[in-house]
Amino acid sequence: MKKIVFVLATMWIALFSSCEQNPKEISPSQTKFTNGTLAELVEIDTLPAMLSYEAPENGTTHIFRMTVNMILKKETPCLQKHNQKNISFDGGNIALNLLDESGAKLIEMSILKEDKAKVKQLLQGQSGDTLRVSFMATTENAEEAPKWFKSASSFAAGEACNVYPYVLNFSGNIDKYPVKMTLQVNPGKTIRGAYYYVSRGPKALLFLKGYVDEKNEVGMAEFNSKGMMVGSHDLAFKNGNIEGTFMTLMAGTMTPLKYFDAKLTPDTEMEAIDFWSKANFDDCFEVWANPNYDEDENKEYED
């Protein structure tokens, strides 16, 4: 009898020395991610989630786990038209923060690597689509970890990474003429886009192809509907705006005609210009799409 009691006691100790404590239900206090272009496209569901905590048996790592619903709040034709393997994230995180009753952050939980890859599939869906994604945090702080689990009362969407390609919409002026512009920033910082003069309407599109460098300076060639290069834009991203100089060219040449100031600001109410189905950018003038563009090697274009 004593032997049986000893075995049961040993099993009980082994089970709970490293067991996952009973999961607890907590609700989100913030469903919108705080930064990154991904934050514009997805958010966390308002439903409660189950938080679990696992203390180590033979080791020092304490583990927090939680699974939530991620919702696609804004579908993007740009992403829908791309092969999934061409959609990429920068090195940023997709995170949730565990909070105590006062709203103070206890620990940051990161999305699992395999679930981060699944987010690409969600981004190609329709508004309202959902995806179950899991988050995990690890710590070796044996003293605080159990306290964090006990005091965790809510969670909040934290930082999010940038997703490429991503789309930016702008309104503003070239010289005194109002324009609307959509730019798509791709992996490798190449840019595709289109714009139109408000007075002429969205059917009179002019197409853009270029790059943005590490200093957020933008160089783009402009093409008309026949594929001829008719202008170039020497711009820069500044405090969310895009501004610089626009140069008109004699159609099909690099001969400059006139220079104009250009300044555009983000337009969150504007519907993205659908240029993806209206132009084959692979056939456009290529040198401007090269971030290693060397002005000296192309000096003849200025003559």
Render pLDDT for 136-183 as a digit per residue (tens, 0 to 9): 999 999 999 999 999 999 999 999 988 887 788 999 999 999 999 999
Q: How many domains does the chain have?
A: 2
- Residue 276 CA: distances (Å) to CA of 36, 78, 106, 281, 297: 23, 7, 44, 9, 31
Find which of 99-103, 236-240, 242-246, 269-273 is predicted with most confidence, using mean pLDDT.
Answer: 99-103
Nearby residues of 104 by Cβ (< 8 Å), 6 or more positions away: none
In this structure, is residue 11 part of a structural domain? no
Domain extent for 151: 22-163
Task: For residues 144 and 259, state if they share a domain.
Answer: no
pLDDT at 300: 32
Task: For residues 157 and 180, state if they share a domain.
Answer: no
Which residue in this structure is represented by tokens 């008109």? 248
CA distance 105 to 101: 10
Task: For residues 245 and 149, state if they share a domain.
Answer: no
Task: For residues 158 and 184, state if they share a domain.
Answer: no
Task: For residues 146 and 39, state if they share a domain.
Answer: yes
Task: For residues 198 and 295, state if they share a domain.
Answer: yes
* pTM of the model as a whole: 0.62
Q: Among the three residues 101, 130, 163, which one is the final residue of a domain in this structure?
A: 163
The domain spanning residue 290 has which CATH number? 2.40.128.120
Nearby residues of 210 by Cβ (< 8 Å), 6 or more positions away: 190, 191, 218, 219, 220, 221, 233, 288, 289
Task: For residues 159 and 171, state if they share a domain.
Answer: no
In this structure, is residue 145 part of a structural domain? yes
How buried is 221 (Cβ within 10 angstroms: 0-12 exposed, 13-18 middle, 19+ buried)? buried
Q: Among the three residues 144, 163, 182, which one is the final residue of a domain in this structure?
A: 163
Task: For residues 155 and 73, state if they share a domain.
Answer: yes
Burial 263-300 (b: 16+ CB within 10 A, else e): ebeebeeeebbebbeebebeebbeebbeeeeeeeeeee
Task: For residues 192 and 298, state if they share a domain.
Answer: yes
Read off φ and ψ for residue 295, nearest 5 degrees.
-65, -35
Task: For residues 177 and 297, state if they share a domain.
Answer: yes
At residue 293, does pLDDT exceed 50? Answer: no
Task: For residues 192 and 277, state if they share a domain.
Answer: yes
Residue 85: half-sphere exposure toward Cβ, Cα within 13 Å: 0
In this structure, is residue 149 part of a structural domain? yes
Q: Among the three residues 163, 188, 203, which one is the final residue of a domain in this structure?
A: 163
pLDDT band at residue 46 under the 50/70/90 scheme: very high
Contact (Cβ atoms closer than 8 angstroms) between residue 145 and residue 53 = yes
